[in-house]
Structure 1
Amino acid sequence: MKISAPTSISRANVLAFATALITLALQILVHRIVSAKLLNNYAFLVISLTMLGFAFSGTLLSRWLPRLLEQFNEAVNLWASLFVISTIGVTLLFCHAGVGHQKFASRGEFVSSFFGLMPFALLYAVPFAFSGFILGMLLSAPGLPARRIYCSDLLGSACGALAVVPAITFLGVETSLLAACLLQWVVAVFLLPPRRWPVRGLLAFAALLIVTASLFQRWFFEMRHRDGSILAATQQPGSGYFLEHIAWDPVARIEVSRIPPPDPEHIPYPVLIGDNPAFLKRFKRIITQNNFAFTFAVEYDGDPKSLAGIDQTIYAAAYEATCVRHPRVATIGVGGGFDILTALYFEAPEITAVEINAATVKILTETYRDYFRACVADPRVHLVQAEGRHYLATTPRQFDVLQLSGVDSYSGTPGAANVFSENYLYTAEAFDLYLSRLTDQGVLNMMRLEYIPPREMLRGLTTAVAALRRAGATRPAHHIIMLTANEGNFTALLVKKKPFTELEEQRLSSWAATNKFLKVSAAPHLNPAQKNFYQSFLALDEAAHEQAYYAICPFNVTPVTDNCPFFFRYSFWRHLWPQDQLIRTTVPAMEISLTILFFLVGLAAIICVWVPLRLMGAAPGEGSRRWRYAVAFAGTALGYLAIEIALFQKFSLFLGHPNYALSVVLAVLLLSTGLGSLFSAPIVRTLRGAGMVSFALAGVLLLEHRFILPKLASWVA
C-alpha cells in the first residue's frame, strides 16, 4: 500500500479505529474471563501485565519499523493473524489449565498462588503485543497524519469500551471474543489484501481456528475450575453436582448447578440450611457468581408449609426479632430466592426483591421459569432489576425488614482489586440510607461470612453504630443484636431503628437457644461481659471510646465512606512485617499483591523495554533528550491513569457497579482524548504553548473535583 494516497489514509484510519475497538473490548473480555475462573484481584494483575504487550511492541518497532513499512500490507495481516491465533490459543490454555487452590491459609500459599498465575498473565500480553504492532505502525508511518490516526485509535477504543457491554449481555464473553477475532481478521484482509502466500496461509489457519472454536466452543472454553471452589465439584465424577447453565452478565458470570441435598454436618455453613430433613430434600440447585458467591435455590411448590425448616436458618433472624406480625420486606440481592422464600414463610404481605444482575432475573423468570414460578410469580413478590442502593435512594417507601444477605460477588474482596470489585453497599452513607428506609419498628439484617478473628462483620458493626449515632440514637448498643454461627464463620447483624425491647431480646435469645448451629454473640444484656470482639466494642457505648478502639484494634475496622469505600480492606501496610502473632496468621492480600505487582511490572518493563532499547543504542547526543521525553511521557501516563482510576471509583456509585463504570469512564476519557489529539494544534496555538494547556487542564480538573464529583451520590436519587 502506498500510504500517502488519500484512499490509503482513509483505510489507515478505519484500520486504526477497528483495531483499537477490538483491543479495548478484548481487554475487558479478558478481565471477565479471569474474574470467572480466579478472583477479581487476579484479573487486575493480568490486565496490568497485558499492557506490557504494547510497550514491548513499541520497543521492537523502534528497530523494525523501516522494514515493516516497506511491506505494510503483509505486516498488518501477519500481526492480525497472530493476534487471532494467540488470543484463542492463550484463552484455550487459560481455561483448561489447573491454577491451584481457590483458598489459601497462609501468606506462603498466597504468594505461591500469585506466582503460579504469572505465566498466564504474561501469555495474555502476547495478543496485545500484536495489536500494538498494528497501531504502532499506523502511528509511526511517515506518510500518515499521526494526529488523525491517533484520534481514530482513541475513538475506536471508546466505542469498544461501550460495545462490549451489550456484546457480553447478548452474546456472552466467549462468543464476543471470537467475534472480536473475526472482526480483526476481516478488517485486515479486506482493507489491506496480502499478496504473499506464507501470510495468506497464516490467515487461512487463523480463519480455520475461528471456525473450529465457534463450532466446538463448549470444549475450547470449558473452564477447569480451581480446587476448593464450588464448581470444582461439578467436574468430579460421582459427586452429584452438575453444572447446568451459564449466563454472562455485565456484572458477573452466573452459574446454575444441580446439587444433592446438603448435609448440615458436612458443609461449612450449616446456619444457612438448618437440619429439617424434609426441607433439606428441597435443596436441588445452587446459583453462583463467578464460582464464588452462592445462594441455594430451594424447590418451592407454592405452599408456605413446605418451607418448614427455613425458620431454623439464620435468614429468619430478622423475623424472629421484629414485633411486626406481617412485615413489609425489601431484600437487596435475590440470587436463588432464599430471602424471598423466608419472607413468604413469615407471611409478609409485600416483598420487594431487588437484583442487580439481569442474568439472574432472566434465570428466575425465563430460563428456569417452571422451577421458580411459585416464588417469583407470587402476587406479593415484586422483582426489581436494579442496584440495591440506587433503588432505595429513589423510593420513599419504608420497610419493616430490610435484608442484605452477602450482597456482592465476593470474588474480589480478598485482594487488590478494590477499584474493580468494591461496591457502595457497606459505607456510612449506605447505612444512613438503610435506617431512613426502616419503619419505626423496622429491622435491618446484614448477613455475611466472617473471618476468625472477626473483622468483616466487626466493621459492619462499627458502621452501624456510627449511623445510629448520626440518626440520633443515644445508646446505639441497645439497637443491635448479633447472631453468629457456632464455628464463628458467619454472622448476622440486626439493627433496629428503635431500641430492642427486653421482650424482643428474650424472644430472639429463646429462638437461638433452640438452634444448634448459632448463638447470640452480642445483645444489650450480654455486652457488659465483653466475651468477644462484638461485645467489647458495643460495651464502649461512647463515641470517644470507639475512636480510641479503632486506634488499638489489630485490624482496620473504621467505618468506610463513599469517598473511600474499601469495606473489605481490613489490613494495614504494617501487617507486611507483623510483630503480633495474631496478625502473622492473617494474609494482607492487598498489600502483598501490590508489592509483588510493583516489582514484577518493574522487572518486566526493564527486560522488555529498557534492556532492548539500551542494546539497540542511541544516537550521539540524544541520551539526555530521550530521558526527558521518557520522563514526560511516563508522567503524563501516570497522571492520566490516576485520574482514570479515581473516576472509576467515583462513577461506580453513580452507575451502580464498577464493571459499568469501567466501560463508561473509559469511553468518555478515550473519546475526549481522541478529540483533543485531533484539535491539539489549534488548542496549543490558542493557549500559547503546551505548558499552558497543562495548567488549563489541571484547573478544569480541580473545578470538577470541587463542584461536580461530590454531587454524584445525590444525583443517584
Structure 2
Amino acid sequence: MPRPPLFALALLSAAALGYEILLMRLLSIIQWHHFAYMMISVALLGYGAAGALVALAQRTLIRHFVPAFAGGALLFGVGAMTCFALAQHVAFNPLEILWEPSQPLRLLLLYMLLFVPFFCAATSVCLCFSRFSEQVHRIYSFDILGAGLGCLGIIVALFLLSPVNALRLVSTAGMAAAALASVECRWHRPWLPALLLSAAIVPAGVPGDWIALRPSEYKELSQTLRIGNARVVAERSSPLGLVTVVESPSIPLRHAPGLSLNASLEPPPQLAVFTDGDGLSALNRYDGGRESLAYLGDLTSALPYHLLRGPKVLVLGSGAGADVLQAIYHRASAVDAVELNPQVIELVQGRFGAFSGKPYSAAGVHVFAGEARGFLAASMERYDLIQVALLDSFSTSSAGLYALSESYLYTVEAFQGYLRHLRPGGLLAITRWVTLPPRDIPKLFATAVAAMEAAGIPAPSRRLALVRGWKTATLVVKNGEFDAADLAALQEFCRTRSFDVEYFPGIQPGQANRYNVLDKPYFFDAAQALLGRERDQFLTHYKFDVRPATDDRPYFFHFFKWRTLPELLSLKAQGGLPLLEWGYPVLVATLLQATAAALLLIGVPLWILRRRAGRLPAMEPGGHGAAVAQRLPAWRVGFYFLAVGVGFMFVEIAFIQKFILFLSHPLYAVAVVLCAFLCFAGLGSRLGSRYLQRMPARAGDNRGRRQAALAVSGICVASLVYLVALPTVFRLLIALPDPARIAISVLLIAPLAFLMGMPFPLGLARVAASDETLVPWAWGINACASVVAAVLATLVAIHVGFTAVVLVALLLYAAAALACP
C-alpha cells in the first residue's frame, strides 16, 4: 500500500495556486484585468471537473494511484507553459465580442486551453483525498499549506524574475512534484524519479520566443509601437506591473492631457512610460530651466497654482514626474511625491536620470514609494495643495475597462483624509478625463459633497470649483470658502485658456459651457442637482451609477445600470457600445457561465453514481450501496460543501480588501492575507483532527458535528468582532513600520483562519466514513463553489459592500453547521 505523497501534494498545490496568480498577471499584461479575471474564473472550474472525473472513474484511478497522481502533476507542468503559449496565438479581441460572431468561439477556445492545467493538477489532488480518505485532515493540511506557500512564493518570484521566467518556474514545480510523488510512494520503478526530475529541467530550455508576451494590439503600448522607429528602451517587471519605456525618434511623443488649445508652447521631448501596456505617463526632458515646462501651466490641473502662492504640495501617484515638474514650474515651496511602484522612480532617477534631470531629487522635492492612502494615514504633515494625478489612460477609462478595479483613491473616506491633511485655505485638486455622457466627474463631485457632509463641514457648495477643458476636467475642493479673489483668479485662468467653468460658488447658467461647447451644459446641471434638494432623484434617474464610492464599496469606476443597457444596445449601429461599461456585464456573464458549468459538474456525476448505486445490492452501514446513500442524503452533503466553499471564499476576499488600507499596499494585502489564511487554515485542519479524537463521546451525539458547530461559532464571533474592531485597530497602528504591520496582520488573521480550516475536512471525513464514493464528488462541489463565490463576492460588494459579503458568509457557515453530515 503506497504512502500518501504529502510533500508532492504540497508542491503541486503550491504550483497550481502560483499558476493562478501568475496567470492573472500574464493575462492583465496581454489583455485587461477584467478579462483576465473572467478567464481564470472559468478555467478554475477544472477543479470541479476533476472532482467529477475522479468520482466517475474512482476505482480505476485508485488502482493505479501512483502513475495517475504523477501523470496529473507532469501534465500540469507541461500544460502550464504549453497552454498559455497556445492561448496567446488565439486572435481574441474582447472589444469586438458583441458584434464579431467569431469572438465568442475564440473565447471558448481560450477557456478550454486555460482549463487543462488546472484540471490536471486538481485530478491529482482530488485523487489523493479519495485514495487516503481515512487521512482527510492530514492531506487537507498539506494541500492548503502548500497553496498558501505557493501564493507567497509566486509574489517573491515576480520580484526576482520576469513573468515569463516565473512561468518556467511554475512549470518546473509541477514536474518536480511528479518526481517527488514517485519517491514518496516508493514506486517499484527506480529509474522513474530520475526521468521525471530530468523532465523538470525542460522548461528552462524552452525558447523565449515561444512564450514571449504578446499584448493586445488595442493596448496603448501596442499602438505606440506602430509609430515608425518607435522602440522599447527599458523594461522592468514586478508584481506591481510590467513597466515599459518607449522612445519615438521619428515622430516625437507629445503627451499633455487636456492642454489648452490656446497654448503657444509645445511640450519638451518625452519618453512614454507604460504599466502593463496601458496608463501612459510622460517622462519629460528637463534641464533645470523653467522655460521648457511652460506647457504645464496650460493644463486644467494647473488651476490650484493660480489660487495659491508658493504652496507646499503633495502629489499622489506621481508616476514619471510630470506633476512634480508642474509644481516646480509654479515655484512650489516644497513637494512630497508618492509613487506606488519603486521601479518607476528608479527609471526616472537612475536609468533616465540624464534625460529627466532627476526631478525627484530637485530642491525641495521628496519622493516616497508607497500607496497614497497609507502614506497619508501614517503622516502628520499638512499641505497647501494635495494633487491626485491623472493615473489612467483615456482609452481604457472610456471603454469601462476599470469597472471591476477597486480604487481607494476616490472614496468618501479618502476625501475626508485628504481634507484633514490640508492647511486652512488649502486645496484638494483631482483631474479626470472628460467622458461623455458625463460619468467620472459627476461621481467625483458627488463623492466630495458626501465627504464634506459626513464630516459635518457646513455649506459644501461654497468650497467647490470645477473647470473643464476639451479632454480633462479638474475638481478643486477648498479647506474653507472661496473668496472673491479666488473666484476672479479662477475665471481669469479659464478665460485666457478657453477652459469652461462648470461650477463655482454663485455661478450663473450662462457662465458655463462657453468654449468647449456641448449640446447641453451636462456638467453644470449635474453639479447643481448634486448640491440641491433633488440629489437623490438625480442619482436614481441618471443613466449611469454616479453614487459616491466608499471604502466598503470601493468601485469608483462602476457606472453600469441595467436599465440603460437596452438603450446602449439600440445605439450599436451609431457607435453607442463604447458607452457600455464592459466590466460589470462581463462579470455577470462569468457568474452565469461558472454557475451553469458548476451545476453540470455537480449534477451529472451524482446522477451516474446514484444509478450505479441502484444496481448494487443493499449493504450494511459502513459499506457502499443504496442503504448508505439513504443514510447520507446527497442533498445534505451537497449543501454542506457548497455553503462551506462559498463561505470560505467570501470571508477570504472580504478581509483581503479590508487589509489593503492597513498594509498600505494591495500587493502586501494579497500576499500576506491569502498566505496567512491558507497556512493557518491548514494548521486548523491538522490540529482540529487531533482535538476531535480527544473529544469525549456522548450518547446519540456525533463528535464531528459538535466540533463543526464549535468551529462555526468561533468563525462567526471572530468575524463579527473583526468587523467592529478592525477600523479602530488599523487607525491606531497604521503608523507602525511595514514589518510590524505585516506581523500584526498575520496575528489578527490566525485565529479566524485556524477555525475556518476545520469545517471542510470534518465534513469530508464524515462522508469518507459513510460512503467513500461521494468523497471526490463532495470535493468537486467545494471547488465549484469556490469558483462561483469568487465572482459572486465581487458582485455583492459592488452593490452592498464587503461587510455584507462577510455577513452572508456567516449565514452560510451557520447553515452548513445545521446541515453537517
Which TM-score band applies after superposition, normalised by the shorter structure?
A: 0.7 to 0.9
Residue-pair matches, total:
694
Please tell me whether residue 249 in structure 1 is matched to residue 238 in structure 2.
yes
Deviation at 1:88, TM superposition (A): 0.7
CA positional deviation for 1:450: 3.1
1:711 to 1:252, Cα distance in 2 relative to 1, 3 A: same
Cα offset, 1:128, TM superposition: 1.0
Matched letter for residue 562 of structure 1: D
304, 323, 340: which one aligns with 2:308: 323
- Sequence identity of aligned pairs in percent? 24
**Which shows bigger deviation, 406-415 or 384-393?**
406-415
> What one-letter code is carried by the residue in structure 2 that aligns with 1:655?
L
SS, match of residue 497 in structure 2 = coil
- 2:372 corresponds to which letter in structure 1? G
Q: Does 1:405 align with 2:398?
A: no
Q: Distance in 2 between matches of 1:452 and 1:126?
A: 42
Shift of the 124–635 alpha-carbon distance from structure 1 to 2, 3 Å rule, reads: same
Give me the whole-angstrom Cα distance separating, in 2, the residues matched to 1:646 and 1:508. 43
Q: Gaps spanning 5+ residues in structure 1: where?
A: none
CA distance in 2, matches of 1:228, 1:513: 37
Q: Does 1:672 align with 2:680?
A: yes
Identify the residue that residue 629 of structure 1 maps to in structure 2.
637
- For 1:661, the equivalent position in structure 2 comes to 669
Q: Who is 2:689 aligned against?
A: 681
Query: What pairs up with 1:548-559 in 2 under 5 angstroms?
Result: 548-559=537-548
Choose which of 594, 599, 608 in structure 1 pairs with 2:587.
Answer: 594
- Matched residue, 1:519: 500
Map of 1:614-653 to 2, 5 A cutoff? Answer: 614-615=607-608, 617-620=611-614, 621=626, 622=629, 625-653=633-661
Deviation of the 1:404 alpha carbon: 0.7
Amino acid at match of 2:284: V
Residue type of the partner of 2:546? Answer: V
Deviation at 1:499, TM superposition (A): 2.3
Looking at structure 1, the residues matched to 105 and 318 of structure 2 have their Cα atoms a distance apart, in angstroms, of 36
**Match for residue 381 of structure 1?**
365
Q: Deviations over 1:167-216 (max 9, x none)?
A: 11121322122112212223422452577799899958954741333xx3
* Aligned residue number for residue 700 of structure 1: 718
Structure 1 residues 502 and 76, CA, compared in 2 at 3 Å: closer, same or farther? Answer: same
Equivalence map 1:537-548=2 (5 Å): 537-540=526-529, 544-548=533-537
Matched, 1:499 2:498: no
SS in 1 for 2:466: strand
Q: Distance in 1 between matches of 2:584 and 2:445?
A: 24
Q: Flag the 1:451–1:279 CA change in 2: closer, same or farther, 3 A.
A: closer
**1:462-481 deviation digits (Å, cap 9, x = unpaired):** 11123334455543233222
User: Paired residue for 1:370?
Assistant: 354
Match of 1:147 in 2: 137
Q: How does 1:145-294 map to 2 (within 5 A)?
A: 145-192=135-182, 203=196, 207=200, 209-213=202-206, 216-217=207-208, 219-236=209-226, 238-259=227-248, 271-272=258-259, 279-283=266-270, 285-294=271-280
Which deviates more from structure 2 when the two are superposed, residues 584-593 or residues 573-582? 573-582
Answering whether residue 469 of structure 2 is matched by residue 485 of structure 1, we say yes
Compare 331-340 and 593-602 and name the one that shifted more: 593-602
CA pair 377-318 structure 1, distance change in 2 beyond 3 A: same
Q: CA deviation at 1:430?
A: 0.7
Q: 1:257 to 1:512 in 2, by over 3 A?
A: same
How far did residue 339 of structure 1 move?
A: 0.4
Distance 1:41 1:527, change over 3 A: farther
In the alignment, what sits opposite 1:307?
293
Contact 2:230 2:250 in 1 (8 A): no
1:39 to 32, 36, 44: 32
How far residue 692 of structure 1 moved from its aligned partner, in angstroms, is 4.0
- In the alignment, the residues of structure 2 paired with residue 348 and residue 445 of structure 1 have an alpha-carbon distance, to the nearest angstrom, of 15
Single out whichever of 624-633 and 562-571 deviates more from structure 2: 624-633
- Determine if contact 1:480/1:524 at 8 Å carries over to the other structure: yes
Name the CA distance, whole Å, in 2 between partners of 1:256 and 1:389. 27
**TM-score, length of structure 1 as denominator length:** 0.87
- The structure 2 residue matched to 1:298, chosen from 281, 284, 291, is 284
Give the distance between the partners of 1:435 and 1:574, measured in 2 at CA: 35
Residue of 85, 95, 98 corresponding to 2:78: 85
- Tell me what 2:797 maps to: none
Give SS of 2:44's match.
Answer: helix
Is residue 517 of structure 2 the alignment partner of residue 533 of structure 1?
A: no
8 Å Cα contact 2:408/2:414 also seen in 1:
yes
* Aligned counterparts of 2:100 and 2:312: Cα–Cα separation in 1: 44
CA-atom RMSD in angstroms: 3.4
Q: Deviation of residue 563 (structure 1)?
A: 1.8
Structure 1 pair 379–152 and aligned structure 2 pair: CA distance change class (3 A): same
Q: Distance in 1 between matches of 2:135 and 2:402?
A: 38
Q: Which amino acid aligns with 1:120?
A: L
1:691 to 709, 714, 733: 709
Change (3 A) 1:388 1:44: same
Q: How far apart, in 2, do the equivalents of 1:460 and 1:367 lie?
A: 36
Q: What residue ranges of structure 2 are gaps of 5+ in the alignment?
A: 513-519, 615-625, 697-702, 736-821
The answer to whether residue 14 in structure 2 is matched with residue 21 in structure 1 is yes
Note the C-alpha offset of 1:129.
1.1
